[in-house]
């Protein structure tokens, strides 16, 4: 059974919570767009931001 890294998991949950207000702000700024376009753009922006955050959170600490 795989060992759970609670620090890593906690950081991921914190990142997940922080993504909500950030993407809500993006949706607010895109309120002149139709809802589908605004949602697609917001998700794209979220991916551009949070890819790097997730990569940092899940980086390997040891060499296999």
**What span, in angstroms and rounded, lies between the C-alpha atoms of 39 and 27?**
7
64 within a domain of the structure (yes/no): no
Q: How many domains does the chain have?
A: 1
49 within a domain of the structure (yes/no): yes
16 pLDDT above the threshold of 80: yes
Going by the DSSP 8-state scheme, the letter that residue 60 receives in this structure is -
Region 1-16: mean pLDDT is: 90
43 within a domain of the structure (yes/no): yes
The boundaries of the domain holding residue 26 are 13-57
Q: Helices H, strands E: what count in the chain?
A: 2, 0
**What span, in angstroms and rounded, lies between the C-alpha atoms of 57 and 12?**
7
63 pLDDT above the threshold of 50: no
41 within a domain of the structure (yes/no): yes
Cβ-contact 50, 5 below 8 angstroms: no
Tell me the pTM.
0.74
Tens of pLDDT, residues 20-54: 999 999 999 999 999 999 999 999 999 999 999 99
């Amino acid at each position: 059974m795989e060992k759970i890294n609670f620090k890593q998991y906690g950081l991921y949950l914190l990142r997940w919570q922080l993504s909500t207000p950030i993407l809500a702000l993006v949706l607010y700024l895109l309120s002149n767009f139709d809802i589908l376009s605004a949602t697609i753009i917001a998700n794209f922006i979220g991916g551009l931001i949070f890819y790097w955050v997730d990569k940092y959170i899940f980086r390997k600490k040891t060499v296999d």
